[in-house]
Amino acid sequence: MTKNALPAAKPANPNFSSGPCAKRPGWALEALSDAPLGRSHRAKVGKAKLKLAIDLTREILDIPADYRIGIVPASDTGAVEMALWSMLGARPVDMMAWESFGEGWVTDVVKQLKLKDARILKAGYGELPDLTQVNFDHDVVFTWNGTTSGVRVPNGDWIAADRKGLTICDATSAAFAQKLDWAKLDVVTFSWQKVLGGEAAHGMLILSPRAVERLETYVPAWPLPKIFRMTKGGKLIEGIFEGETINTPSMLCVEDYIDALSWAKSLGGLNGLTGRADANFKVLADWVAATPWVDFLAADPATRSNTSVCLVVADPEVKALPADAQAAFAKAIAGALEKAKVAYDIGAYRDAPAGLRIWAGSTVEASDLAALLPWLDWAYADAKAGLKQAA
């Protein structure tokens, strides 16, 4: 395909960012007209909205009735930090990292909390650590789906049912697109701006009864900022998990989250959402299988994410280039598509290997991904032509 042979059609929605992600199909600002703007979140109307968001979250994700669900500050990061700072230190901890966010939690635990009995289980981008090496007498911290590597755990079978430690799971790009094994998870976190395409800055913190017991029986050796405190007098502050947020939330963002949850419910809940994400992934997977110049970063098909799909340029001539030239080649593809207003924000994460990252979560339409594919081939051919000219 030559530079001038433009594909016939563009995606109706060019937003393929891995966060904030595309809004649900048909979304418009009018969907937020019922937001109680200018009202206190502690007023009856504010509490009712926050409680509705929690109740719909439980319903859509099929969260057990005895698990607490809280809306917390600072997105998924805030939710993870609350768990790490409030619960770790009671027993040794296994930290699992195979991409940048997992690496960030390792830094928190080793360099900030300075836990001496932290064991680090790492793998490179595109791979998982050896799950059989996890010690479930320890607490375990891991990401379910590596947003910056496109690598996920295939299921929860590797987690011991009779574990003594807690499992703390960052599920921010998995929740609502992949089925989480709640019986194997004690702390689960995610943010609104991923799979449901919500607005940023709010996180969700979900606690099992075992996690609540840890909070009520263990006091960390370090001081806790107010924003992390979930207990008072040795008892869980139940209000946090009934919509009484620690700080002031954006009621506009809350309304947007409720709108996304209501849309999810209209699809049939979690099965509808996972079905959309799986169908989206298949569009990309079928194209990769038929396209010699591109491949998945994740080598094992069982671990490939159906949301943050990470790709590498497999062309031998490009792979033979120095790392900075490979990165420039991938950026040329992403840049050409952005300039053409075909696909925004599809470059690989800054710490990840050079390549592309295309969001295929539940709010994306399969038809938009199908329309994107000829443009990817066009941008690759254009970048390859430029490479030959430079030579």
- Whether residue 293 is predicted with pLDDT greater than 60 in this model: the reply is yes
pLDDT at 1: 40
Say which CATH superfamily domain 270-390 falls into: Aspartate Aminotransferase, domain 1 (3.90.1150.10)
* Contact between residue 172 and residue 201 where contact means Cβ atoms under 8 Å apart: no
Phi/psi of residue 337, nearest 5 degrees: -75, -35
SS3 per-residue string spanning the chain: CCCCCCCCCCCCCCECCCCCCCCCCCCCHHHHCCCCCCCCCCCHHHHHHHHHHHHHHHHHHCCCCCCEEEEEECHHHHHHHHHHHHHCCCCCEEEEECCHHHHHHHHHHHHHCCCCCEEEEECCCCCCCCHHHCCCCCEEEEECEECCCCEECCCCCCCCCCCCCCEEEECCCCCCCCCCCHHHCCEEEEECCCCCCCCCCEEEEEECHHHHHHHHHCCCCCCCCHHHCCEECCEECHHHHHCCCCCCCCHHHHHHHHHHHHHHHHCCCHHHHHHHHHHHHHHHHHHHHCCCCEEECCCCHHHECCCEEEEEECCHHHHCCCHHHHHHHHHHHHHHHHHCCCCECCECCCCCCCCEEEECCCCCCHHHHHHHHHHHHHHHHHHHHHHHHHC
CA distances from 62 to 29, 165, 288 (A): 28, 23, 33
Domain boundaries, the chain: 35-266, 270-390
Q: pLDDT (tens digit, 9 = 90+) per residue, 137-172?
A: 999 999 999 999 999 999 999 999 999 999 999 999
Q: pLDDT (tens digit, 9 = 90+) per residue, 348-359?
A: 999 999 999 999
Q: pLDDT (tens digit, 9 = 90+) per residue, 204-215?
A: 999 999 999 999
- The Cα 203–Cα 199 span in angstroms is 10
pLDDT band with cut points at 50, 70 and 90 for residue 4 = low
- Whether residue 376 is predicted with pLDDT greater than 70 in this model: the reply is yes
pLDDT band with cut points at 50, 70 and 90 for residue 388 = confident
Average pLDDT over residues 218-242: 97
Q: pLDDT (tens digit, 9 = 90+) per residue, 106-129?
A: 999 999 999 999 999 999 999 999
pLDDT band with cut points at 50, 70 and 90 for residue 5 = confident
Q: pLDDT (tens digit, 9 = 90+) per residue, 232-291?
A: 999 999 999 999 999 999 999 999 999 999 999 999 999 999 999 999 999 999 999 999
CA distances from 344 to 15, 135, 179, 356, 357 (A): 5, 41, 28, 11, 11
- The Cα 233–Cα 221 span in angstroms is 16
- Whether residue 389 is predicted with pLDDT greater than 90 in this model: the reply is no
Higher local confidence (pLDDT), 273 or 391:
273
Tally Cβ neighbours within 10 Å of residue 111: 9
Q: pLDDT (tens digit, 9 = 90+) per residue, 29-85?
A: 999 999 999 999 999 999 999 999 999 999 999 999 999 999 999 999 999 999 999
- The Cα 11–Cα 133 span in angstroms is 44
* Contact between residue 199 and residue 332 where contact means Cβ atoms under 8 Å apart: no
Average pLDDT over residues 223-227: 95
Average pLDDT, the chain: 97
- Whether residue 301 is predicted with pLDDT greater than 60 in this model: the reply is yes
- The Cα 369–Cα 358 span in angstroms is 9
**Residue range 35-266 in CATH 3.40.640.10:** yes
pLDDT at 100: 95
pLDDT at 3: 55
pLDDT band with cut points at 50, 70 and 90 for residue 2 = very low
